[in-house]
Structure 1
Amino acid sequence: MLELYQFELSQYSEKVRLILDYKGLEYRKIEVTPGVGQIELMQKTGKRQVPVLKDGDTYVADSTAIAFYLDQKYPERPIIPDDPVARGQCLLIEEWADESIGIKGRKALIGALNQNQNFRTAVLPKQTPDFLKTLVSAIPGDLLDVLGTGVGLGGDAVKEAKKGLQQDLEALCLILENRPYLVGDTPTLADLAVAGLTMILKFPEGSYLDLPEQLKGKGIPGLADNIAYEPFFTWRDRLYADYRKASGSPNKNNGSAPTAINID
């Protein structure tokens, strides 16, 4: 069985989960504990960043590399078009989504976490000790903003990221206004990448993620609740309903939550 080393709330991991589900491939999620788990992953695969896909003795890191590997190894329900123009458009949108939505989305999410203590603790992994949850909740948002400024995650950076995301979502709404998918008449890597990477802008409703109930359908203020972007999120949620498997379904691990990392 395929194994996906992941963070449950990583949008790049979600991109891969969408691809696996779209192709109908059975896989097991293995949650990597930040820090220690990443060291173990590095020892085993030479990579410390998730997602990493294990297929037999083969390890593939990076969500784009995983997408190409899966399309070549498991060609049923292809996600990368053969037509040169469609292929070029698909790859261009996928790269843009990785570099624009993916990076800006993280910054905007960090800004929302800084300003909302309940949101901050709700997204922590379930195995996080209670004392650490209390500590994280108690940190003043203004202090987090100051600390973030030193690493490019301060208030100004967050505002710029949200501004860029607003433009991205507007563009996506316009592209999808009169077509079912971003490229052609069937889903491609472009659609699955955009849908997965926007997970943290507005968490999908339904039992797709190991996520507290109060977070489902919620997201970054000004983006998730903006009626102007409702057409895009409606499109994305339809994609989820059509292709994303709920936690505990036959194409997933047997439980509703990811298995903890255990690297031999």
Structure 2
Amino acid sequence: MLELYQFEVSQYSEKVRLILDYKGLEYRKIEVTPGIGQLELYKMSGQRQVPVLKDGDTIVTDSTEIAFYLDRKYPEKPIIPTDPLLRGQCLLIEEWADESIGIKGRIAFIGALNQNPNFRTSMLPKEVPDFLKTLVGAVPGDLLSMLGTGAGFGPDAVKEATKALKQDLEALSLILQNRPYLVGDEPTLADLAVAGLSVILKQPGGDYLDIPDALKGKGIPGLADNTAYDTFFLWRDRFYMDYRKPLSSKGQGEAPPTTIDIE
């Protein structure tokens, strides 16, 4: 069986999970423990980042390379068009989504954590004691923003990322107003990348990710709750209903992630 080494909350891992579900491929999720688990992952794959796909003796890193590999190895329900124009549009949008929604979304997400105590505490696992959640929520947002400046997550970076994402969501909403998919009449890697990566902006409402129920359907304030982008998020949620298998699908969906030691 295919094995996906991942972080459950990683938007790039979600991009690959959505591709696997769309193609109807069975796979096992293996949660990588930050730190020591990433060192073990390096021994196996030569790098520390997730996602990593293991298919027998074949190891594939990077979400885009995994997508290309899956389309070559498992050509049923292809995700990369053969028509030159559609293929070019698909690859262009996929690359844009990685760089814009993926990277800028992460910056805006961290900015939202810094500035919104309620959003920050809602991200904590439900097992965290209430008193600790209170302490986390009480940390001044300005202090967190100052600490994040040196790492590229300061107020100016967050502002620019959020501004760019608003333009991106407006553009996606306009494109999807009167068409079912971003490229052509069938789902492609462009749709799968945009839909999967967008979980960093707003979590889908269904039972697709092993996250607290309070987070489902929630996201970055100012983006996830802005009605101007309803067209996009409604499209994304319909896409999930059509192609993403819920955790509760016994025998056909994925199980919650299993943490194991990597040999």
Pick the TM interval, shorter chain: over 0.9
| Aligned position for 1:251 | 252
Q: Which amino acid aligns with 2:197?
A: L
Query: 1:126 Cα deviation (Å)?
Result: 6.8
Query: 1:165 Cα deviation (Å)?
Result: 0.2
| Aligned position for 1:239 | 239
Q: Does structure 1 conserve the Cα–Cα contact (< 8 Å) formed by 2:26 and 2:252?
A: yes
User: Which residues in structure 2 correspond to 1:63-78 (within 5 Å)?
Assistant: 63-78=63-78
Q: Assess, with a 3 A threshold, how the Cα gap between structure 1 residues 127 and 139 changes in structure 2: closer, same or farther.
A: same
Structure 1 length-normalised TM? 0.94
What is the Cα-based RMSD across aligned positions, in Å? 1.9
| Aligned position for 1:104 | 104
Query: 1:179 Cα deviation (Å)?
Result: 1.1
| Structure 1 alignment gaps of length 5 or more | none
| Aligned position for 1:36 | 36
Deviations 1:75-97 (A, max 9, x none): 00000000010000000000000
Deviations 1:106-162 (A, max 9, x none): 001001111233432433467879998676445322111001111211111111111
| Aligned position for 1:157 | 157
The number of residues matched between the two structures is: 262
Query: 1:251 Cα deviation (Å)?
Result: 3.4
Q: Which amino acid aligns with 1:55?
A: D
Provide the C-alpha distance between the structure 2 equivalents of 1:83 and 1:38, rounded to a whole number of angstroms. Answer: 39
Q: Does structure 2 conserve the Cα–Cα contact (< 8 Å) formed by 1:7 and 1:51?
A: yes
Q: Does structure 1 conserve the Cα–Cα contact (< 8 Å) formed by 2:149 and 2:155?
A: yes
| Aligned position for 1:196 | 196
Provide the C-alpha distance between the structure 2 equivalents of 1:91 and 1:174, rounded to a whole number of angstroms. Answer: 20
Q: Percent identity at matched positions?
A: 76
Q: Which amino acid aligns with 1:9?
A: V
Q: Which amino acid aligns with 1:258?
A: P
Q: Assess, with a 3 A threshold, how the Cα gap between structure 1 residues 55 and 252 changes in structure 2: closer, same or farther.
A: farther
Specify the SS of the correspondent of 1:183: coil
Query: 1:248 Cα deviation (Å)?
Result: 4.0
Specify the SS of the correspondent of 2:60: strand
Query: 1:174 Cα deviation (Å)?
Result: 1.2
User: Which residues in structure 2 correspond to 1:209-220 (within 5 Å)?
Assistant: 209-220=209-220
User: Which residues in structure 2 correspond to 1:155-194 (within 5 Å)?
Assistant: 155-194=155-194
State whether structure 2 residue 49 is matched by structure 1 residue 55. no
> Which is further off, 172-181 or 187-196?
172-181
Provide the C-alpha distance between the structure 1 equivalents of 2:141 and 2:234, rounded to a whole number of angstroms. Answer: 32
**Structure 1 stretches of 4+ moved >3 Å:** 124-139
Q: Does structure 2 conserve the Cα–Cα contact (< 8 Å) formed by 1:28 and 1:252?
A: no
